[in-house]
Amino acid sequence: MRAVSEPQQIFWAPLLPAGCNVFVNISLMILCIVLCDVNPLPFFVTTIIGHAVLAGYGLRDPHLSSLMAAWAEKRKKTVNLIATKGNKFVP
């Protein structure tokens, strides 16, 4: 029951969105440093601000990681197992 009642968090933010936030910000930071020779400090600030926003959303909906995983699963296209007109899903 613990896995359902207390979803994974990292510094008070849901794990999956926080990981995506860090991954996107670090990727953009490396890209901008290589291509434009910019200071990396603004990227750290935006990472912290984004994490704080995610922590706020995590307080309102602690299962945000589960919602993101369910949304990704829902986006998959279904395939008919038998060639028919329309949608007929036969095992």
- Nearest-angstrom CA–CA distance, 35 and 10: 31
Q: Give residue 22's pLDDT.
A: 95
Q: Give residue 25's pLDDT.
A: 96
- The series of mean pLDDT values per 10 residues for the chain, 91 residues long, is 72 91 96 94 95 92 84 75 64 55
Q: Give residue 63's pLDDT.
A: 85
- Identify the H or E element spanning 23: helix 15-36
